[in-house]
Structure formats: C-alpha cells, structure tokens
Amino acid sequence: MDFIISYFSSLNPASFVSALPGNIAQGIIWGLMALGVFITYKLLHFADLTVDGSFATGGAVTGILLLNGVPIWIAMIVALIAGLLTGLITGLLHTLLGIPDILAGILTQIALYSINLNIMGKANLPVSYRNYDLLISGSNILWAIIIGLTFAFIVIAAMYWYFGTEQGSTIRSTGSNPAMSKAQGINISTAKVIALSLSNGLVALSGALLAQYQGFADINMGRGAIVIGLAAVIIGQVLGEALFRKHINFVIRLVFVIVGGILYYIAMGIVLWLKMPTDDTKLFTAVIVAIFLAVPYLKHKKSTSFKKVAKQNLKSANEEGTKNA
C-alpha cells in the first residue's frame, strides 16, 4: 500500500501537461503518415508494409539534401517523389510479378533499408534548426502544430477532391470489389500502383517533416510505422463512428485519422508519464491497436447476435399484434 501511495505521489501532473503540446505535434505528423496508410488499408484493402521503409526514405532524402545546401521546400518535394517511387516498386512487384501484397511490401521495405543507408552514407544525419532553415522544428512546438495542421488541411482537401474524381473512384472501386471493377473495364493493376504510389509519397512527406521536427534523420525512424499508422486509422474510425454514427462521411473519416494520430501520441505520453518501461513501448502500442481493432468486430457481433435478433423479432411481432388488435 505504501508503494502505491509513493508511486502516485511521485507523478507530476505538470510534467504531463508540459509534454502535451509536443505529443500533439508528433501526433499530427504521424497522423499525416496514417493518411497514407488509410489509402492502402481502408480504400485499397492492401496490406502494405512498405511504409516502414518509405517513412525513413523521406527523412533520409530530406537530410542529405539539406546537408548539400538544397532549400527545404525542394528537399521535401524530392522526398515526396522518392516516396512515390517506393510505392511504385511495391505496386509493380505485386501487379507485374504476381508477388502477394504482404510479401511485395516486405521486399521493398528490406531493400529500402540498404537504399536509405546509401542515401545518408551513415545511420544518422543531424538536421538541426541551428544549421538549416527548416519548415518545422521541435524547438518551437506551437509553430510545429500550426504547420502540421496546415499540411493536414491541404492533404485532406486534396484527398477529398482526388478520390471524388473518376480516377480516385476507380481506386475505391478496386478496393471494394476487384472482380466487379475488372468486369466493368477498370484496370485494377493500374489503380493499385497509383494508390500505392500516392500512399508512400504521403508517408515519405511525413517522414521529411518528422526528421525536421526531431532534428535528425535515422535509419530506424520508420520502424513500426505501419503499426502506428494502423493505430491512428483504427482509433480515428472507432471514435468517428461513435460520434457521428450513420452521418460520418469521407472527409470526416480523414479528419479523424489525424485525430487518431494525436490521441495515440497522447496515450503514449500518458504511458511515459506513468513511468512505464520505455522498452515496453511497442508492447503498449500493440495492445492499443489490438483493442481498437477488436471494438468494431465485437460491436458488429453484438448487433448481429441471435439474442438481439430474437428480441427484435419478438418486438416486431408484439407491435404487429397490437396493430392488428
């Protein structure tokens, strides 16, 4: 009992509050990455593991270009293009060579580890605001949040527009029903390649932002990115559907992906504030994702249970009997 009292008395709420803006800023950046995961996971129903590599590619390209005197805007555009190419490779491995989606992503991810090392020349590159004119930096959290939200607004608006076009609709159709889409004359291979390219381009862009925010590009900065992206997507989906129910639309889903990223990093902030072992961070992440993945299934199972169906049928029969009487 004394240990529990001592443990909770050692927790300082002020330290959690002071760390909260930083958690929000990181959550927005990772939320942008999760929007890329949303394209493949929710729209295309493609299990793409390329993102662990393409996220680091965005940081690596940004870091090496800054080191060589390239302006930050150009560096970020090149990082975006590099991400597009990584998605293109995964798409071609899957569509042209017939490699299953998971294996295609893993192959590209493994290759990117060596490619990223060759780009940077070493495992870590400093990207300090003291040496470079950066767009975003962890030294100014408020500005980082503003820039992050600005990027989020632009990306969400662009995605809302694009996936309402004919080409964007073919991607959504391909993900929903590939066989029917193919029967309607849609080239589903092209749709998959485009979606994977756009997804990883967005992931690389967020990697470029994170490298600036944390002050360095690292070969392992994308490790576990797919899990964090899935966490943001699932948390946002569950929360959005709980709040809006049947009124949730595409743009609200996109917004709640960003919200999911923020909530995930706040949850991680709470875990660290509670002085949980940092070595167990990945374990906590897996638990959080598992819980939110299970919620939609359990909710659907509950709504379609025999007991509930029987109750609804009995209610309908009683109402019909009352009406006839």
- From first to last of the 325 residues of the chain, give the pLDDT tens digit: 666 777 667 777 888 888 899 999 999 999 999 999 999 999 999 889 999 999 999 999 999 999 999 999 999 999 999 999 999 999 999 999 999 999 999 999 999 999 999 999 998 999 887 888 888 988 899 999 999 999 999 999 999 999 999 999 999 999 989 989 988 889 999 999 999 999 999 999 999 999 999 999 999 998 888 988 988 998 898 889 888 887 889 999 999 999 999 998 998 888 888 777 777 777 877 787 788 778 777 777 776 655 565 566 666 656 655 555 5
| DSSP single-letter state for residue 163 | T
Handedness of CA 281, 285, 288, 294 (dihedral sign): negative
Could you tell me which residues are beta bridge partners of residue 125?
A: 217
Residue 311 pLDDT? 62
Going by C-alpha positions, the residue among 289, 172, 298 that lies closest to residue 226 is 289
> How many C-beta atoms surround the C-beta of residue 127 within 10 A?
26
| DSSP single-letter state for residue 165 | S
Long-range residue pairs from 279-286, CB within 8 A, at least 24 positions apart, any chain: 282/224, 282/227, 285/224, 285/227, 285/228, 285/231, 286/227
Residue 323 pLDDT? 57
Residue 322 pLDDT? 59
Side chain identity at residue 233, one-letter code: V
Distance CA 213, CA 114 (A): 24
Q: How many separate helices (H) and strands (E) can be counted in the chain?
A: 13, 2
Residue 324 pLDDT? 56
SS (HEC) of 229-241: HHHHHHHHHHHHH
Q: How many Å separate Cα 58 from the centre of its chain?
A: 15
Residue 303 pLDDT? 66
Could you tell me which residues are beta bridge partners of residue 217?
A: 125
Residue 52 pLDDT? 94
Residue 280 pLDDT? 76
Q: What is the DSSP string of 87-150?
A: HHHHHHHHHTS---HHHHHHHHHHHHHHHHHHHHSSSEEE--TTTS--S--TT-HHHHHHHHHH
Distance CA 266, CA 282 (A): 15
Going by C-alpha positions, the residue among 83, 213, 228, 75 that lies closest to residue 146 is 213
Q: How many Å separate Cα 257 from the centre of its chain?
A: 7
Could you tell me which residues are beta bridge partners of residue 218?
A: 124
CA distance to 27, 131, 151, 217, 221, per residue, from 126 (Å)? 22, 9, 23, 6, 13
Q: What is the DSSP string of 196-225?
A: HHHHHHHHHHHHHHHHHHHTEEETTTTTTH
Distance CA 126, CA 119 (A): 14
Burial classification of residue 47, based on how many CB atoms lie within 10 Å of its CB (0-12 exposed, 13-18 middle, 19 or more buried): middle
Residue 8 pLDDT? 65
Q: Model pTM?
A: 0.87
